[in-house]
Amino acid sequence: MNQLRLLSPHFGSEECKWVHQVIFDELLGIPVTLEKSSACIYTLIVGEAQITWPDVFLRSLISVNLDEGFLHPKDGITVDVASVTDTTPSNLPVLFGEPRISSQGASVDLHFDISGIIFYFLSEAGSIQENARDGHERPLAVNSYSFRNNLLHRPVVDEYIELLRAMINKIWPGSVAKRNEGQIIPTCDVDFPFEASAFRIRSLARELLAATRGELSRVELNRKVANSLRCRAGNYQHDRNYTFPWYIDECERQGRQAVFYFISGHTGGSIDGYYAIEATPIVALLGEITRRGHDIGLHGSYNTFRSSAELNKERARLMQACVSSGHPVDIRQCRQHFLRWDPIYTPRAMEEAGLRLDSTGSYPDIAGFKYGTAHKFSMWDWSRRRALKVKQAPLILMESTVIAKRYQNLGYTEAALEYMLTLKVNALKYGGDFLFLWHNSHLTIEEDRRFFKILLQ
């Protein structure tokens, strides 16, 4: 078996080890041996030939404190890679280095820093540099390099991996295996399993008041009262949020395995919804999901995104509820409620809580490729500057990001569907997964169901 060697100027640093382990072992599927280089370039030895690229980014980062800052990417620069590969867009963005490729015999010199560019995307370096956050303390797409350069709909890291694959295979035909096929993975954050008035007297009283003020029709009030009575008798099929049987049936019709994330703590109070994970209908639902072969994950409540202790408690409580359902699950997957995220502390908090796979990885305001990839990868820990065991399975699309007025505001238009399908095609194109979020409580109108079914196919 051919063995790749990479001579690296930062041999021995955690940054260098992490980014190249992800690039070669995890994304390309071919191991690489790292060796020390005294020059400021990376040299990939491929048999008798070599591929080089400059070290521009990591040298600005290694051994500086985060508050001292590190190199910002240059906007608006692209390199034409049509001479090397025709399976990616010809214009790859050049964040660091010069947009040039030269060759000598079988060897190729890239004048842009592939390692640095991929590090920048996968580590969220941009969110560290751009400190702006919204009211929920989330980094936003509108502040990102990808937004400024119209790249949110493109998996740029996957495109770069494809470029590397093409170059290596040209020198050593067939040495890098063909890509696996990606999966379509529907996921559901269970924020509101039932309508608020189904089990809560206070909510029902509020609806009554609204009806007396003329803000709610009599017909709708009667429906809510009837729904509440039926739910209390264990009949949920008329509840507008309790769409789980339909959701699971549709997934199974298309052969998809879904993940359902449950809230099991209330660190943020009422913002974390109104169900207890131990409630009888919730425990029954947990059991049914597992019995039918779908997955359960933790939906970390509002204030857990910097707290491994709270995450740990919620994980244990969810696992206990699964035991009560008769179908124990070792909970390893999670997604943060509201997609709350601190790029420095959240991945570490998850790891310390025993979690191993996060799917919070999308900006809330514009759907697309926050990390530039649709592949799973081991995450970077900025707080301790080292690789983590916890992996990111990036979330490519949340339905409300595209549909809702407060975000992209495309509603249920053909433009909305076209944007969603562009993300789906681009995620799968390089063997990544199209992992999308559709809430059980966002299936109340026919258009929701139509969109959901199209994305599942």
Per CB under 5 A, residues contacting Zn ion are 189, 191, 337
CB of 205 to Zn ion, least distance (A): 25
Q: What is the number of the residue whose Cβ is closest to Zn ion?
A: 337
Q: Whose Cβ is closer to Zn ion: residue 154's or residue 337's?
A: 337
Q: Given its phi and psi angles, is residue 348 left (phi above 0), alpha (psi -120 to 50 degrees) or beta?
A: alpha
Q: Whose Cβ is closer to Zn ion: residue 110's or residue 188's?
A: 188
Give the list of residues 6+ apart from residue 280 with CB closer than 8 angstroms, or none.
none
Q: With contact defined as beta carbons under 8 Å apart, do 40 and 58 qualify? A: no
CA dihedral 94, 97, 101, 107 (to 10 degrees): -120
CB of 336 to Zn ion, least distance (A): 8
Q: With contact defined as beta carbons under 8 Å apart, do 25 and 375 qualify? A: no
CB of 189 to Zn ion, least distance (A): 4
Q: With contact defined as beta carbons under 8 Å apart, do 425 and 174 qualify? A: no
CB of 261 to Zn ion, least distance (A): 7
Q: Whose Cβ is closer to Zn ion: residue 337's or residue 376's?
A: 337
CB of 267 to Zn ion, least distance (A): 13
CB of 280 to Zn ion, least distance (A): 22
Pick from 188, 364, 355: nearest CA to 347: 355
Return the residue matching tokens 């559901």: 188
Q: Whose Cβ is closer to Zn ion: residue 191's or residue 239's?
A: 191
DSSP assignment string, 105-138:
TTEEEEEE-HHHHHHHHHTTHHHHHS----TTS-
CB of 147 to Zn ion, least distance (A): 23
Return the sign of the alpha-carbon dihedral for residues 435, 439, 445, 446: positive
CB of 436 to Zn ion, least distance (A): 15
Q: Whose Cβ is closer to Zn ion: residue 9's or residue 364's?
A: 364
Element (H, E) at 181: none
Q: Whose Cβ is closer to Zn ion: residue 191's or residue 358's?
A: 191
Residue 330 burial (CB count, 10 A): 9
Q: With contact defined as beta carbons under 8 Å apart, do 362 and 127 qualify? A: no
CB of 337 to Zn ion, least distance (A): 4
Residue 325 burial (CB count, 10 A): 20
The pairing of beta strand 377-381 with beta strand 357-358: unpaired
Q: Whose Cβ is closer to Zn ion: residue 264's or residue 426's?
A: 264
Q: Whose Cβ is closer to Zn ion: residue 175's or residue 400's?
A: 400
Instruction: Give me Rg for the CA atoms of the chain.
Output: 24
Across the beta sheet with 4-8, the strand order is: 32-36, 4-8, 41-46, 49-54, 107-112, 97-104
Alpha-helical segments (H) within 130-178: 145-148, 156-171
Q: Whose Cβ is closer to Zn ion: residue 339's or residue 423's?
A: 339
| Rounded-to-integer distance, Cα 189 and Cα 193, Å | 9
Q: With contact defined as beta carbons under 8 Å apart, do 97 and 112 qualify? A: yes
Q: Whose Cβ is closer to Zn ion: residue 191's or residue 295's?
A: 191
| Rounded-to-integer distance, Cα 227 and Cα 231, Å | 6
CB of 214 to Zn ion, least distance (A): 32
SS3 222: helix
Q: Whose Cβ is closer to Zn ion: residue 19's or residue 398's?
A: 398
CB of 395 to Zn ion, least distance (A): 12
CB of 335 to Zn ion, least distance (A): 8
Q: Whose Cβ is closer to Zn ion: residue 124's or residue 189's?
A: 189
Return the residue matching tokens 């580590």: 123
